[in-house]
Chain A
Amino acid sequence: MAFVDRAYSGLSNNIHGGFEVPDWLSAEHSTGTSIMAVEYNGGVVIGADSRSTTGSYISNRFTDKLTQITEHIYCCRSGSSADTQAIANIVRYHLDFHSIELGEPPLVEAAANIFRELCYNYRDSLMAGIIVAGWDKRRGGQVYCVPLGGMCVRQPLAIGGSGSTYVYGYVDAHFKKDMSKKECLEFVTNTLALAMSRDGSSGGVVRLADLTEKGIERFTVLGDQLPRFYEG
């Protein structure tokens, strides 16, 4: 069972068939991964790490956690890979249908609410922490946070995944309103690099994307190009 994050064994016991197993095989409940999204005037910048784990084995070190829902709406996935992929597919279905009925591209708010409907109504069976981000012509760039229980709230900035806990302080200190696209990209890269260097279940490369009226522009910051901070 691959996870976008750490292993989640619901019943955490360390005894399998009478044998003691090492601690690191059973995990804490927090969802691995580091994901982030920032609004700016004219669009959003989203970013994620690229590590998928099955227990402590890195099953995919080049994962793409930035998933397209429509041309202008993307989501950052954290939690169970299977759950978040299935949810994203279903949301894509609903939004495609909705946009054909509407005759125009759907609102980011609509996408976020469909995510929320699924995540809330099936909250007991799912493990999915999702950040929905995109651009529409009514409200421009928007970021909506849909964490584990199925809440939905719009924020200028959202961070998620297990790696996010290590960077709340950095984000609070360095976020400013009305940043430019370049500043946002740098801010997201730095934040994710810090999260990845402290969180064991985050790592690999930083995947970035800039979503505007014109569509998506993707970037990848490879391991050796990641900004480096105090590593003592």
Chain B
Amino acid sequence: MGSRYDRAITVFSPDGHLLQVEYAQEAVRKGSTAVGVRGSDVVVLGVEKKSVAKLQEERTVRKICLLDDHVVMAFAGLTADARILINRAQIECQSHKLTVEDPVTLEYITRYIAGLKQKYTQSNGRRPFGISCLLAGFDYDGVPHLYQTEPSGIYYEWKANATGRSAKTVREFLEKYYTEELVSTEKGTVKLAIRALLEVVQSGRKHLEIAVMRRGEPMQMLDVEKIEEYVVEIEKEKEEEAEKKKQKK
């Protein structure tokens, strides 16, 4: 039904859809997976790193970006679109600090980004941003948050979520295994995030990028060795689980 109603974004289709927004969400679904898990003392973001061509330099591609010292963002979808939004958000974080002398809260900056995205669903001649963002960090009162924004301009807070390719699979995994007890430690939170990503990332470990945000500390990107340690532990646990199942049978 889309053919006549997906030209300009400002037009509703007869059955009440904004087709450009839905197409943008389709673009998100094609992007590489991003996952976020909120623990009690850390918030963890993980992304699937696309494998680079043979001759391409392996610069750690910035799919996880700092918006301010205490806010980190990962996204799924059109990387170029993300750059624009990230830039605007970074400026807003500083501008907020200058005018009210306080760092932004996670909710504020999420609302700002969502508001920006919404504007592009109601403007003439412009298309929506083709990205879905996961924002993580701590407010200055020490409370951790994880938010998600969509191309339509809506935002939600989550305990754990995924976006991008195979997001549904990852989310179902998280729903199954997320417990308050598990994420009460940093190790548990990071392990859950990595496990969730490993479900859908082909050839696992070398293609993961994990960022850990701790209360009052700068963001830390886990290096390859550290991720490897976690992956080895996870695989051992999986084996033990499989053994147990076999024994039961």
Contact = CB atoms under 8 A, between A and B. Distances in A.
Which size bracket describes the interface of A in this complex?
10 to 19
B119 interface: no
B68 A100 contact: yes
A93 interface: yes
B90 A93 contact: no
A11 B97 CA distance: 36
Contacts of B94: 93-94, 96-97
Nearest to B96: A93
A137 to B, nearest CB: 17
B98 A97 contact: no
Interface in B60-107: 66-69, 90-91, 94-95, 97-98
B98 A89 contact: yes
Interface string A46-74: 00000000000000000000000000000
Interface in A57-107: 89-90, 92-94, 96-97, 100-101, 103
A110 B216 CA distance: 26
Nearest to B71: A100
Interface in B30-68: 66-68
Contact of A90 (B67, B69, B98): B98
A145 B100 CA distance: 29
B228 to A, nearest CB: 24
A90 B97 CA distance: 10
Contacts of B97: 93, 96
Nearest to A95: B94
Nearest to A90: B98
Contacts of B68: 96, 100
Contact of B90 (A89, A90, A97): A97
B95 A93 contact: yes
B66 A100 contact: yes
A101 B89 CA distance: 12
A97 B68 CA distance: 8
Nearest to B87: A101
A94 B91 CA distance: 9
Nearest to B103: A96
Contacts of B95: 93
B135 to A, nearest CB: 15
Contacts of B66: 100, 103
Nearest to A89: B98
A96 B97 CA distance: 10
A101 B90 contact: yes
Contacts of A89: 98
Contacts of A94: 94
Nearest to A97: B94
A92 B99 CA distance: 12
B244 to A, nearest CB: 45
Contacts of A96: 68, 94, 97
A93 B98 CA distance: 6
21 contacts: A89-B98, A90-B98, A92-B98, A93-B94, A93-B95, A93-B97, A93-B98, A94-B94, A96-B68, A96-B94, A96-B97, A97-B90, A97-B91, A97-B94, A100-B66, A100-B67, A100-B68, A100-B69, A100-B90, A101-B90, A103-B66
Interface of B: 66-69, 90-91, 94-95, 97-98
Given A93-B97, A100-B67, A101-B90, 18 more contacts: A89-B98, A90-B98, A92-B98, A93-B94, A93-B95, A93-B98, A94-B94, A96-B68, A96-B94, A96-B97, A97-B90, A97-B91, A97-B94, A100-B66, A100-B68, A100-B69, A100-B90, A103-B66
Report the 9 A-B pairs with minimum CB-CB distance, sorted nearest first. A93-B98, A97-B94, A93-B94, A100-B66, A96-B94, A100-B90, A89-B98, A97-B90, A97-B91
